[in-house]
Chains A and B, each alone.
Chain A
């Protein structure tokens, strides 16, 4: 297969994004422009960061349904440590990141050593993390740390394109995950295992450790998304991210990554996040459309991409 054919799903994703963005720009006044573009990125930073980790897990042929709960858990943990325990934010962030990573290691270990299906383990993980989040606090915990207030002023400006910290973090992490997935040995091992786990094992690739690493990195990114959520809202809420795992999976698939693993691109995930963002923003601009359409459109896009993948796979076999 040549390069274009192999990256066809990502090209389709890019084309859909372009069509959606341009048509929304013509229909709604003020859609083009730096303000909206910056909002598209920063409003979806939490989802985007979680989706980056999900991409790595789906590369291995697995799935992680726990990210939304881990995100909620780490966000309320961070806020509680800062507000109630009086910790400096950086210390709270480190604890949250470690907690997220450990959860990922736990889930990955159960999947690898316990030979359990990923969706079952992470389904239980979803209950587990959400329960822990509510055990910390049943209500939203506000953060009134002076450092947080100064962080909310941080931004990169390019004309009226004014990108706040959550958006910057999304772009930086996307670059890092892109490098990890497509330019390191670990990334290649993940894709190889998703293509065929037994072949990867027979080739002597460290499949077990790579798989646990994928879930660990995913846990860390979910924790990072939880921290970004506290930056974005200025509080930590145990109910943050309910149902977010579905959006993350949808975004990864819309980004052209094959759900059976072994094929995909981190860049596609970023495009997928932007597609979701444009749809959401369009509904917001319109004002007449029900927000229910958002879910239905995402479902339809999922269907289109899954059928497209089937078609491509069927053709590459012949």
Chain B
């Protein structure tokens, strides 16, 4: 067993790498565009590209938060993009009917929880593969969103609801604060109790964790519920952001961005360990990448190409065997050999 004798491959917290990547990206942008880091205060609100980054990235950050929990159990949730569309449609229809704001937000959350509940039953109770189980809602959800809006884009104007995505509290954008608050709650609930450990145990080996007395099915179900809830709230943010619900475009490809953010953040797709902070940084990294591609004039339609190459590179670095090979190459290089001999 040479693998177990080899040096431990994880010397630093995996959150280190996406953080460095984000810093490099910001530095590159700052060099080419000195105005990048400039922040101004207008009407008591903080404005500037870094704040923009947080504000624009908040939606994917929110999805990545829930997705991290699901991926920690060794699963994946492909339905979040469609759930965002359904939840946005529900919000828009309620607002057009002049429902009170708290009710609208609760409805969005409820929609997400219901969707998460369906996924949870299929995965945790019936034992369907996560990719397959969540594929069902991914397909059906968009149809549902179209039914709710009657196939149209529902446009509304409601200042208090749009405040969710555009407003400021203490000079900071509401959406970003909301995500940070949820992150804080999740971090406390998972890392200050045994819940996080249970999640990792289930993701590492569901059978073993069940024998160890962990309610594996219930733990999995809770992860899918949390993920659905995040997607539901994200739907409200998406609707508030554009003051409309578009059943065709809302949340499209967002499940991919969320999964990528989690992967970049150092959470292994095989489950068993997770880094909530890493996922948030991963989401910010993706947003910064999009922003800088805008800046360097890459057409938006072509922008996915560098994104895809980057994702694969990051995922390859995480594969233990390939990392060992790379380390071996480095140790065999002449310069290094001289130093060690």
For residue B308, which residues in chain A have a CB less than 8 angstroms away from its CB? 124-128, 131
Instruction: For the complex formed, measure the closest distance between the CB of A112 and the CB atoms of chain B, giving whole angstroms.
Output: 12
Known interface pairs A128-B304, A302-B135; A293-B143 also in contact (CB < 8 Å):
yes
Could you tell me if A134 and B129 are in contact, using CB atoms closer than 8 angstroms? no
Please tell me if B182 contacts chain A, counting CB pairs below 8 Å: no
Please tell me if B41 contacts chain A, counting CB pairs below 8 Å: no
Number of interface residues of A (CB under 8 A): 43
Chain A 127-139, CB-CB to B under 8 Å as 1, else 0, gives 1101110110010
Could you tell me if B256 and A127 are in contact, using CB atoms closer than 8 angstroms? yes
Chain B 180-207, CB-CB to A under 8 Å as 1, else 0, gives 0000000000000000000000000000
Where the two chains meet, the residues of A that have a C-beta atom closer than 8 Å to any C-beta of B are 63, 110, 114-117, 119-121, 123-128, 130-132, 134-135, 138, 238, 246, 249-250, 253, 259-260, 290-296, 298-300, 302-303, 306-307, 310
In the complex, 23 of the A-B residue pairs with CB atoms within 8 angstroms, ordered by the A residue number, are A114-B316, A119-B76, A120-B315, A123-B256, A123-B259, A124-B308, A124-B309, A124-B311, A132-B305, A246-B135, A250-B135, A259-B129, A259-B132, A260-B129, A291-B151, A292-B147, A292-B151, A295-B140, A295-B144, A296-B140, A298-B140, A306-B136, A310-B128
For residue B142, which residues in chain A have a CB less than 8 angstroms away from its CB? 295
Known interface pairs A299-B137, A299-B140; A131-B126 also in contact (CB < 8 Å):
no
Give the CA-CA distance A110 to B142 in the complex, in Å.
Answer: 31
B132-150 interface with A by 8 A CB criterion: 132-133, 135-144, 146-147, 150
Give the CA-CA distance A28 to B223 in the complex, in Å.
Answer: 46
Residue of B nearest to A294 (CB): B143
Residue of A nearest to B137 (CB): A299
Give the CA-CA distance A243 to B129 in the complex, in Å.
Answer: 21
Please tell me if B322 contacts chain A, counting CB pairs below 8 Å: yes
User: Which one, B22-30, B54-62, B102-110, B295-303, is touching chain A?
Assistant: B295-303
Give the CA-CA distance A294 to B139 in the complex, in Å.
Answer: 10
With beta carbons under 8 angstroms apart, the residue of A116, A130, A138, A303 that contacts B319 is: A116
Could you tell me if A135 and B305 are in contact, using CB atoms closer than 8 angstroms? yes
Could you tell me if B144 and A292 are in contact, using CB atoms closer than 8 angstroms? yes
Give the CA-CA distance A118 to B146 in the complex, in Å.
Answer: 30
B115-136 interface with A by 8 A CB criterion: 122, 126-129, 131-133, 135-136
Residue of A nearest to B318 (CB): A116
Residue of B nearest to A238 (CB): B301
Known interface pairs A120-B263, A127-B305, A310-B127; A114-B319 also in contact (CB < 8 Å):
yes
Residue of B nearest to A249 (CB): B135
Give the CA-CA distance A246 to B141 in the complex, in Å.
Answer: 12
Indicate the member of A114, A117, A119, A124 with the most B CB atoms within 10 Å.
A124
For residue A117, which residues in chain B have a CB less than 8 angstroms away from its CB? 269-270
Please tell me if B39 contacts chain A, counting CB pairs below 8 Å: no
Please tell me if B307 contacts chain A, counting CB pairs below 8 Å: yes
Residue of B nearest to A307 (CB): B126
Interface size class of B (residues with CB under 8 A): 35 or more
With beta carbons under 8 angstroms apart, the residue of B131, B143, B303, B307 that contacts A63 is: B131
With beta carbons under 8 angstroms apart, the residue of B127, B256, B322 that contacts A114 is: B322
Residue of B nearest to A250 (CB): B139
Please tell me if B159 contacts chain A, counting CB pairs below 8 Å: no
17 additional contacts, CB 8 Å, given A246-B135, A302-B136? Answer: A121-B312, A124-B315, A128-B309, A131-B304, A250-B139, A260-B129, A290-B151, A291-B146, A292-B143, A292-B144, A292-B151, A294-B143, A300-B140, A302-B139, A306-B133, A310-B126, A310-B127
Where the two chains meet, the residues of B that have a C-beta atom closer than 8 Å to any C-beta of A are 76, 122, 126-129, 131-133, 135-144, 146-147, 150-151, 247, 256, 259, 263, 269-270, 299, 301-305, 307-309, 311-312, 315-316, 319, 321-322
The 9 A-B residue pairs with the shortest CB-CB distance in the complex, in nearest-first order: A299-B140, A295-B143, A134-B301, A131-B305, A292-B146, A127-B304, A128-B308, A131-B304, A127-B308
Instruction: For the complex formed, measure the closest distance between the CB of B3 and the CB atoms of chain A, giving whole angstroms.
Output: 13
Could you tell me if A116 and B316 are in contact, using CB atoms closer than 8 angstroms? yes
Instruction: For the complex formed, measure the closest distance between the CB of B310 and the CB atoms of chain A, giving whole angstroms.
Output: 9
Instruction: For the complex formed, measure the closest distance between the CB of B248 and the CB atoms of chain A, giving whole angstroms.
Output: 10
Give the CA-CA distance A210 to B202 in the complex, in Å.
Answer: 32
Indicate the member of B122, B137, B141, B302 with the most A CB atoms within 10 Å.
B302
Instruction: For the complex formed, measure the closest distance between the CB of B264 and the CB atoms of chain A, giving whole angstroms.
Output: 12
For residue A132, which residues in chain B have a CB less than 8 angstroms away from its CB? 302, 305
Could you tell me if A306 and B132 are in contact, using CB atoms closer than 8 angstroms? yes
For residue B135, which residues in chain A have a CB less than 8 angstroms away from its CB? 246, 249-250, 302
Could you tell me if B315 and A116 are in contact, using CB atoms closer than 8 angstroms? yes
With beta carbons under 8 angstroms apart, the residue of B129, B139, B307 that contacts A127 is: B307
Instruction: For the complex formed, measure the closest distance between the CB of A222 and the CB atoms of chain B, giving whole angstroms.
Output: 16
Instruction: For the complex formed, measure the closest distance between the CB of B340 and the CB atoms of chain A, giving whole angstroms.
Output: 29
For residue B127, which residues in chain A have a CB less than 8 angstroms away from its CB? 310
Give the CA-CA distance A135 to B308 in the complex, in Å.
Answer: 14
Give the CA-CA distance A259 to B76 in the complex, in Å.
Answer: 15
For residue A250, which residues in chain B have a CB less than 8 angstroms away from its CB? 135, 139
Give the CA-CA distance A117 to B146 in the complex, in Å.
Answer: 32
Indicate the member of A128, A138, A249 with the most B CB atoms within 10 Å.
A128
Instruction: For the complex formed, measure the closest distance between the CB of A111 and the CB atoms of chain B, giving whole angstroms.
Output: 11
Instruction: For the complex formed, measure the closest distance between the CB of A245 and the CB atoms of chain B, giving whole angstroms.
Output: 10
Give the CA-CA distance A270 to B122 in the complex, in Å.
Answer: 27
Indicate the member of B143, B270, B322 with the most A CB atoms within 10 Å.
B143
Indicate the member of A291, A295, A296, A306 with the most B CB atoms within 10 Å.
A295
